[in-house]
Structure 1
Amino acid sequence: METFHEQMMFGDSLSVFLPNDAKDVSEIREIPDNQEVFTHSQTDQSVIFEILEYVKEDSHQHAMRTHFEDGCLSNEVGEDSEIITIEAVPADRIQMEHAECVWYLKGCQRVAKFNEDAKNTVEIHMALFRLPQFDSDILVTFNNPLEISPLSSSHAAVPVSAQPWTLQHFQCIVDSLKIINTDIFG
């Protein structure tokens, strides 16, 4: 596995270790203030960090499902999505001491990029950090395209030398996420 580098985010309030080939999307286009987005330099993979309002549900699993469904609405996925698994992440793996708990979701979406008609099949990995003391959730989403439509703007040959990110990369990202300055929560 290639090396990682420490990346400061949200005005140096959070830190995470990202693969060296991660590119900061904010250098290319505007990103909402509550997000940090990084893409793989040679594939269509991305990792999104979002600071969101705490979802008050009767269980953490339902909160995870709510965030996934909100993402489906934002992506205009409709019925083209499925949740494969939702499970707790062992606390001893996580460096973020402020998190009450962390939940993992694996899902799949058939989604069009940039309002195109062509739909791509994207494997979704999410980690939800529950922070009730700050009335916030931190959601980390790894988008891993499995099938890209030939009609999609994303359809391009991936170089043979490209080393796509794996679930292990995502786990390292999730495990390394830390809050440096709690003032980010207001």
Structure 2
Amino acid sequence: MQDICSDGMEAQHLFGGALSAVIPHSAKDISEVREIPDNQEVFAHKLTDQSLMVDLLEYQSHVEDGEAARYHFEDLAGSNEASSPGSSKVVHVQPLPKSQLSLQECSSAFLLTGTQCISKFNEEAKNVVNIHLGLFRLPQFSTDILVTFNDPVSISPLSSSAAGESAVITAPWTAQDFLQVLQSLRLLDPGVFG
């Protein structure tokens, strides 16, 4: 289901309508293809190897706001098996001003940019992926909302992703598309947090 935002863009309902956000063009809802955990929404670009994920995670109270984005990036690196030396790097972290966000319930928000060397489907081949990570902290709901944009910059010829790489005609998603997702994220039903 979708709503029209004030700027004319369509906002897609997430988590059964509990949240919404403007999802970039050419997005395929991965839950139509495979089972996705209840605390996650996953979209993939129809023609590139880019993906976008929204995760509802437990609030990490032991981590200060300024370090929370790095904490989640390092956790993601562990999940991606990109935690060996040199395979994961934070480029920069910056706060997102609440005045530019639709999600006014967050106590703070951050944007992290980094890179990870990731293998797809546990393959041996490693791809270099720019990771753009948006973190919204909602301590009152014991929740951290993590929005992740995976943007491959170098795909190994031995990766299963290499087959579709040359066929890309449709414009890939950009950092600006991702920023629009972050700025348009909206809470519609706090009951989603339990």
Please give the TM-score of this superposition, normalised by the length of structure 1.
0.95
| Equivalent residues of 1:42, 1:158 under 8 A apart | no
- In structure 1, runs of 5+ residues without a counterpart are none
Which residue of structure 2 lines up, in the alignment, with residue 129 of structure 1?
Answer: 136
Task: Please give the per-residue CA displacement for 1:155-176, whole angstroms capped at 9, x wherever unaligned.
Answer: 1234352200000000000000
- Quick one: which of 51, 66, 70 aligns to 2:71? 66
Amino acid aligned to 1:47: L
Q: Distance in 1 between matches of 2:101 and 2:9?
A: 17
Q: Which runs of 5+ in 2 are unaligned?
A: 1-7
1:53 aligned to which of 51, 55, 58? 58
In the other structure, the counterpart of 1:155 is 162
TM superposition shift of 1:6? 1.6
Distance 1:173 1:113, change over 3 A: same
Aligned to 1:172, which of 180, 184, 188? Answer: 180
Quick one: distance in 2 between partners of 1:62 and 1:53? 15
How many residue pairs get matched?
A: 184
Superposition CA RMSD, Å? 1.3
2: CA distance, partners of 1:158 / 1:178: 36
Match of 2:98 in 1: 91
Runs (4+) off by over 4 Å: none
Cα distance in 1 between the residues matched to 2:24 and 2:81: 29
TM-score by length of structure 2 reads: 0.91
Please tell me whether residue 18 in structure 1 is matched to residue 23 in structure 2.
yes
Is the 2:63–2:71 Cα contact (8 Å) retained in structure 1?
no
